[in-house]
Amino acid sequence: MNTKIISVTEEEEGQDRIYREASERIKQGGLVAFPTETVYGLGANGLDEEAAAKIYAAKGRPSDNPLILHIAEVEQLEKIVRCIPDAAKKMIETYWPGPLTIVFEKADCVPYGTTGGLETVAVRMPDHIVARRLIKESGVPIAAPSANRSGRPSPTKASHVVEDLFGKVDLILDGGMVGIGLESTIVDVTVTPPVILRPGYITQEMLTALLKQEIRLDPAFLQGIAADVKPKAPGMKYRHYAPKADLVIVEGSPYHAAKKIAELAAKQAAEGKRVGIIGTKEFQDDYQTGLVKIIGTREEEETIAHNLYHILREFDEAQVDIIYSEGFPEDHFGQAIMNRLEKAAGNKIIKLSDEARTRDASFS
Ligand code: TXA
Ligand code: MG
């Protein structure tokens, strides 16, 4: 298949031809990759089972893993779900458009080929000019998983989509690097109280404050996706992405973790291993050995989320043998960051002793 790549800007003007072409592709059952505020999506008409099947084929995705339907207006939601519970209404008012996906009971018009056979459907209204205009002009909800090959990190730039899907999709809209860099939060409102199936930029704390009740995380997360606990978001059971090299997270006070990483890196390097380090700006001077990638600053965890996936891709290219990463606090947005990092590490974590943590509370 010929894959066309077109650059789009966030300007409204002068791009009519691009959107006309892209929306025609969608209407005709084709595949169009496009930027959203979280990660790039691989879009197709979500009400067309055959079009959805092409998504699974292009990604190499298991067919029991359902797709998120992307909409541009709330009126579209009413057509694809059975009912909108009060909790969802509040979330929509506050966080749509935005990085929040809500799981509802599906209406009959949504094919099982989109929902992986489930009676529920996940819906999101993205907050990105390109995504919204594409959905509006297509006139249908757009089913879109992250635009990576199954088992690769989600794409945060169009070049990542090209790496994974060139020749497998009709069109890639290149809108530059995305803002957030991690996939949306998923909340299931078909149960009371609602449950978070995947943590993201809209945090557990934000939803708890909004709904004035405790919103819990699907227990499957807390137990590190053990084989016998089935996550409610089918996609979360797959070992999403494993870097080619072993990835080890070092947790403890940031100060001690950085010292430990530097020590482990020096030891591995002395044995002739090629070492990678994922560290924060605060501790960059500690790292003297190995290929060091500064992921962001602890003062702004958004920077860490923004850079995580493209750094993991860069390490695959660099062909290191082992990667050490600093760990991050698991509250607020950190919950999502650690969820993705732990999955990439296959839960290989070195926890420094509590003694070291308390001794060094002043540095954390
Ligand atoms: O930020 C995002 O959500 C991005 C952009 C493109 O919008 N999309 C994305 O899609 O991350 P995907 O397919 O990579 O991840 C969707 C997740 C999967 O883990 C899937 O199992 C879960 O959502 N999911 C979809 N429909 C569901 C449903 N009805 N019930 C439970 N989980 C569902
Ligand atoms: Mg994905």
- What pLDDT sits at residue 224? 46
Q: Scanning the structure block, which residue is given the tokens 């009400």? A: 47
CA of 12 from ligand 2 middle (Å) equals 29
The chain-wide mean pLDDT, for the chain, equals 93
pLDDT above 60: residue 263: yes
Q: What is the pLDDT of residues 338-362, one digit of tens each?
A: 999 998 998 799 999 754 544 444 3
Binned at pLDDT 50, 70 and 90, residue 257 comes out as very high
| 194 upstream amide cis, omega within 30 of 0 | no
Lowest average pLDDT, out of 134-138, 185-189, 299-303, 353-357, goes to 353-357
Ligand number with the minimum distance to the CA of 38 = 1
Tokens representing residue 66 in the block: 């359902």
CA of 69 from ligand 2 middle (Å) equals 13
What percentage of residues in the chain have a pLDDT greater than 90?
85
Q: What is the pLDDT of residues 268-321, one digit of tens each?
A: 999 999 999 999 999 999 999 999 999 999 999 999 999 999 999 999 999 999
Phi-psi sector, 167: left (phi>0), alpha (psi -120 to 50), beta: left
| 199 upstream amide cis, omega within 30 of 0 | no
CA of 208 from ligand 2 middle (Å) equals 25
CA of 184 from ligand 1 middle (Å) equals 8
- CA nearest to 142, candidates 213, 234, 72: 72
Provide mean pLDDT across the span 110-139. 97
Answer whether 236 contacts ligand 1 (Cβ < 6 A): yes
CA of 113 from ligand 1 middle (Å) equals 14
What percentage of residues in the chain have a pLDDT greater than 70?
92
Provide mean pLDDT across the span 60-84. 96
User: SS3 string of 135-197?
Assistant: HHHHCCCEECCECCCCCCCCCCCHHHHHHHHCCCCCEEEECCCCCCCCCCEEEECCCCCCEEE
Q: Which residue is closest in CA terms to ligand 1's atom 29? A: 121
Q: Which atom of ligand 1 is nearest to the CA of 233?
A: 32
Q: Which residue is closest in CA terms to ligand 1's atom 21? A: 235
Rounded Cα distance, 240 and 192, in Å: 28
Provide mean pLDDT across the span 28-33. 98
Answer whether 101 contacts ligand 1 (Cβ < 6 A): yes
Answer whether 66 contacts ligand 1 (Cβ < 6 A): yes
pLDDT above 70: residue 180: yes
Answer whether 36 contacts ligand 1 (Cβ < 6 A): yes
- What pLDDT sits at residue 219? 80
Lowest average pLDDT, out of 10-14, 50-54, 243-247, 255-259, goes to 10-14
Q: Which atom of ligand 1 is nearest to the CA of 40?
A: 6
- What pLDDT sits at residue 39? 98
Angle (nearest 5°) at CA 160 between 156 and 163? 170
CA of 325 from ligand 1 middle (Å) equals 26
Q: Which residue is closest in CA terms to ligand 1's atom 7? A: 41
Coil, strand, or helix at residue 41? Answer: strand
Coil, strand, or helix at residue 336? Answer: helix
pLDDT above 50: residue 225: no
Q: Which residue is closest in CA terms to ligand 1's atom 32? A: 233
Q: What is the pLDDT of residues 155-170, one digit of tens each?
A: 999 999 999 999 999 9
- What pLDDT sits at residue 240? 67
- What pLDDT sits at residue 42? 98
Tokens representing residue 126 in the block: 């993205």
- What pLDDT sits at residue 359? 46
Q: Which residue has the higher pLDDT, 195 or 244?
A: 195
Answering whether pTM is above 0.85, one says: yes
Provide mean pLDDT across the span 213-235. 70
Rounded Cα distance, 112 and 118, in Å: 7
Provide mean pLDDT across the span 169-178. 98
pLDDT above 70: residue 127: yes
Contact present, 241 and 310 (Cβ < 8 Å): no
Provide mean pLDDT across the span 45-55. 97
- What pLDDT sits at residue 15? 93
- What pLDDT sits at residue 243? 87
Tokens representing residue 117 in the block: 């056979």
